[in-house]
Structure 1
Amino acid sequence: MKLLQVSVGLPKTKQLENGTLVTGIGKEEVEGCWLRKESFDGDAVANTSFHGGVDRAVCVYPFEHYALWEKQFGSTLPRPAFGENFTVIGMKEEDTYIGDVYRIGEAIVQVTQGRIPCITIDHHTGCKGLMAEIVKTGYTGYFMRVLEEGFVAKDASITLLERGESVTVLHTNRIYFHGPRNEGEAKEILAEEALAPAWRNKLVQRITKNR
């Protein structure tokens, strides 16, 4: 596992063909930054419905996916193309579990949920259809909550302190976006205490609706 880049930024107004969009996706690399309970210093989100808050304090994206998307869309993607705070290596969705606890620099963080991508990714990268491919593959990146605040330098080490119970981010994404094949799959995810309440509530609603 390796931390490749730390990035932060405040919301900005982006000009689109048919209007404007206020978004916090346009972050920039920093040498290091203090990570607080709800965000990094100097970092903020625009759409609080899908970003920000204690369960989504840190956005992480695996660098391995960059090559896949660049090849598929024929475009170079400068980091952080997906508005992530941490660009990482060796921590893909299939290798990372809901509930994983890591020490990254001085901070201790825990994986809480996959990311729900929005069309802003297409606008920001100029790759039309990228958001749909991210949902299709489950290569969304993921969010973390902060268990212990601290300074994180760009070359900080990553140490796994505790492994989540049983479900990877990729499996959780597939169930969340494409639906469980049976109720047991959803219940398996719900058994993970670290799962973000927003995702927990959504899965409970689906179980209730399907009965």
Structure 2
Amino acid sequence: MTTPTALPIDALLVGPVALLPDGRSRSGIRKTATADALWLSPTGLQGDAQADLRVHGGVEKAVHHYPREHYAGWASVSHPSELLTHAGAFGENVSTTGWDESTVCIGDVVQLGDARVQVSQGRQPCWKRDAHFGVPGMAREMQARGCTGWYYRVLEPGWVRAGAMATRVERPHPDWPLSRLIALLFSRDARFVPEWEEAAALPALAERWRVTFRKRLDAGRVEDWEPRLRAPASDT
């Protein structure tokens, strides 16, 4: 089956920072679909917010795109949830059907409505996803399955709305589907060292991911994922 180079935006989603169901953590993960045209600036969509700007948002993670087809897999595995009945459950800003991590490459340039964006990296799921769904270990499962979605940097700001087209207009790194990079990032297998070196040199890859691969090469080991995947202990 041929992957389409253009497809409609099924839903455009934004949301404020709010408390998660655990009652103690704040996140911008829950998004709501809007029919309005929204301005996409270099730092994100009008009306969208992130709680921890150290690790979320910014120019390399201005927009999060998540494939709608992943939802059926999540629901069928072990996570039936009201959240999975509509787009926005994974904190995505853009929902489409027809592209996934195996058919999108790092560096792909996409005309997104009137804006132009570029695939910069995948997502590194954290423990707040567990709190959001009330399912311990969901972030680990997302990492293991590689169904993380991807982020865009904004090359040209513009208006975006649901129903507009997402059209791939450039593909500078056809040998680097996002699924390959995600597998490399989430592997501890030393056989991948040569590919870590290649990934660290990819100009379209977000600097934070390139730094991660370079640090692995320098240290000869993979970084500790536990602080990202495990919720901090409660103060009470």
Number of the residue aligned with 2:91? 83
Between Structure 1 and Structure 2, how many residues are aligned?
209
User: Is the 2:109–2:170 contact (alpha carbons within 8 Å) kept by the matching residues of 1?
Assistant: yes
Q: Give the Cα–Cα distance (whole angstroms) in 2 for the partners of residues 68 and 182 of structure 1.
A: 28
Quick one: distance in 2 between partners of 1:85 and 1:101?
Answer: 17
Question: Does the 8 Å contact 1:167/1:188 carry over to 2?
Answer: no
Equivalent residues of 1:50, 1:116 under 8 A apart = no
Q: Distance in 2 between matches of 1:188 and 1:90?
A: 28
Report the Cα distance in structure 2 between the residues aligned to 1:79 and 1:173, rounded to whole angstroms: 22
CA deviation after TM superposition for structure 1 residue 49, in Å: 2.6
Match of 1:196 among 191, 196, 206: 206
Contact 1:25 1:82 in 2 (8 A): yes
User: 2:110–2:117: 8 Å Cα contact kept in structure 1?
Assistant: yes
Deviation (angstroms), 1:13: 1.9
One-letter code of the match for 2:215? Q
Tell me which protein shows more strand as a share of its residues: 1
What fraction of aligned residue pairs are identical, expressed as a percent?
A: 37
The answer for the alignment partner of 1:9 in structure 2 is: 15
Task: Give matches, 1:9-158, under 5 Å.
Answer: 9-16=15-22, 19-31=23-35, 32-76=37-81, 77=84, 78-158=86-166
Q: Please report how far the alpha carbon of residue 74 of structure 1 lies from its aligned counterpart in structure 2 after TM superposition.
A: 4.3
Letter in 2 for 1:169: L
Equivalent residue number for residue 231 of structure 2: none
- Tell me the alpha carbon deviations over residues 21-71 of structure 1, each in whole angstroms, 9 at most, x when there is no partner: 110001111113110010111111012232100000001111111000000
TM-score, normalisation: structure 1: 0.94
Question: Match of 2:54, as an amino acid?
Answer: S
> Is 1:172 aligned with 2:172?
no
List, as ranges, runs of 4+ consecutive aligned residues in structure 1 with deviation greater than 6 Å. Answer: none
Structure 2 vs 1, CA of residues 204 and 71 (structure 1 numbering), >3 Å: closer, same or farther?
same
**Separation (CA, whole Å) in 2 of partners of 1:177 and 1:48:** 23
Q: Is the 8 A contact 1:23 1:46 kept in 2?
A: yes
Partner secondary structure for residue 20 of structure 1: coil
Separation in structure 2 between the aligned mates of residue 187 and residue 145 of structure 1, nearest angstrom? 23
Secondary structure at 1:93's aligned position in 2?
coil
User: How well do the aligned residues superpose, as a CA RMSD in angstroms?
Assistant: 1.5
SS, match of residue 50 in structure 2: coil
Contact 1:2-1:90 at 8 Å conserved across structures: no
Alpha carbons 2:41, 2:158 under 8 Å: kept:
yes
C-alpha distance 203-74 of structure 1, shift in aligned 2 (>3 A): closer
